[in-house]
């Protein structure tokens, strides 16, 4: 499927390292109670695979598959899995819009920090539903920029955040996709929806400051990038990001849980 998206964070070392610090415990706690030893789990847009590899250690007699549209991220995920000696994790290049798997291949499909970058989320969810076994579960987690707490309000901070928001929208993304998860899943035919939200507080603030500033600079928003870096060095800087989370069920038949 052809889409007009342009993935905003890009694949710099900084962006990939930023994702690789994530774990299932820190970023997918809402899904862990739903996993079984034998789950077949698909992680869509797995990036460098740190969360995916944690899942592989949890579903010990099951299997995890990570897909990402970007080959460099799949290579990094494979190396990470090999360094951990995992034998139940595989990774493939692929798009969430055209998943390279037969119908009903997975018990759980997860996507973390992906849907805010998709211009046609309903098409992605139709594909997710196709590869889920009857009664299987979909689990999504994405930020909602309406929930940020960023302080103190240093010069240029608001326009830098505004510029980043414009950039992500221009790239085909949706900075408010988190709040839309219930409607998106319901429209896609999922049931038993369980919505939650959590905050992530970035420490130290220059970590998120540099991550966003590099993307702004790459888009020629140099003044805004400088303003973000300046904010991040303030001794009282805080950046609390709201993550929206949802678990839904493929409705055809129920699996025991
Ligand atoms: C923000 S990163 C998140 C990576 C990982 N899930 C995590 O949270 O650490 C988003 C990832 O989704 C991938 N992605 C974006 N659009 C995609 C698509 N249409 N199909 C598959 N992967 C996609 C990007 O290449 C990127 O690696």
| Residue 254 pLDDT exceeds 60 | no
Q: Does 117 fall in a domain?
A: yes
Task: Please state the pTM of the whole predicted model.
Answer: 0.96
Q: Does 256 fall in a domain?
A: no
Pairwise CA distance, residues 34 & 130, whole Å: 20
The domain tally of the chain equals: 1
Q: Does 146 fall in a domain?
A: yes
| Domain of residue 67, CATH code | 3.40.50.150
Q: Does 1 fall in a domain?
A: no
Q: Does 138 fall in a domain?
A: yes
pLDDT classification of 2: cutoffs 50, 70, 90: confident
Q: What is the percent of the chain where pLDDT is above 90?
A: 95
Q: Does 97 fall in a domain?
A: yes
Q: Report helix, strand or coil for 19.
A: helix
Give, to the nearest 10 degrees, the angle between helix 206-218 and helix 222-232.
180
Token code pair at residue 31:
């899904």
Pairwise CA distance, residues 211 & 188, whole Å: 33
Pairing mode, if any, of strands 63-68 and 40-44? parallel
Q: Does 144 fall in a domain?
A: yes
Pocket probe for ligand 1: among 4, 7, 198, the residue whose CB has the most ligand atoms within 8 Å is 7
Pocket probe for ligand 1: among 30, 117, 120, 243, the residue whose CB has the most ligand atoms within 8 Å is 117
Q: Does 86 fall in a domain?
A: yes
Q: How does pLDDT run across 96-151, given as a tens digit for each residue? A: 999 999 999 999 999 999 999 999 999 999 999 999 999 999 999 999 999 999 99
Domain that residue 74 falls in: 13-249
Q: What is the CA radius of gyration of the chain?
A: 18
Q: How does pLDDT run across 149-160, given as a tens digit for each residue? A: 999 999 999 999
Q: How does pLDDT run across 43-83, given as a tens digit for each residue? A: 999 999 999 999 999 999 999 999 999 999 999 999 999 99
Pairwise CA distance, residues 153 & 23, whole Å: 31
User: CA–CA distance from 238 to each of 9, 148, 235 (Å)?
Assistant: 21, 10, 9
């Amino acid at each position: 499927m052809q889409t007009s998206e342009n993935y905003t964070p890009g694949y710099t070392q900084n962006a990939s390292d930023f994702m690789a610090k994530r774990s299932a415990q820190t970023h997918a706690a809402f899904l862990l109670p739903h996993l079984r030893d034998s789950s077949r789990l698909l992680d869509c847009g797995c990036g460098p695979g740190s969360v995916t590899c944690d899942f592989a250690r949890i579903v010990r007699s099951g299997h995890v598959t990570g897909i990402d549209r970007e080959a460099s991220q799949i290579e990094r995920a494979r190396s990470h899995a090999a360094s951990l000696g995992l034998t139940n994790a595989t990774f493939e290049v692929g798009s969430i819009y055209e998943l390279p798997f037969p119908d009903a291949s997975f018990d759980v499909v997860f996507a973390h920090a992906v849907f805010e970058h998709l211009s046609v989320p309903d098409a992605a969810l139709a594909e997710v539903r196709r590869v889920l076994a009857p009664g299987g579960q979909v689990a999504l987690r994405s930020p909602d920029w309406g929930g940020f707490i960023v302080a103190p309000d240093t010069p240029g901070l608001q326009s830098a955040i505004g510029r980043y928001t414009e950039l992500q929208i221009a790239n085909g993304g949706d900075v408010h996709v988190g709040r839309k998860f219930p409607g998106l899943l319901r429209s896609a035919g999922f049931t038993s929806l369980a919505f939650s939200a959590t905050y992530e507080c970035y420490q130290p603030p220059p970590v998120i400051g540099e991550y966003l500033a590099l993307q702004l600079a790459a888009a020629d928003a140099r003044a805004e990038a400088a303003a973000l870096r300046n904010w991040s060095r303030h001794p009282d800087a805080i950046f609390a990001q709201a993550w929206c989370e949802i678990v839904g069920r493929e409705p055809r038949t129920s699996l025991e849980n």
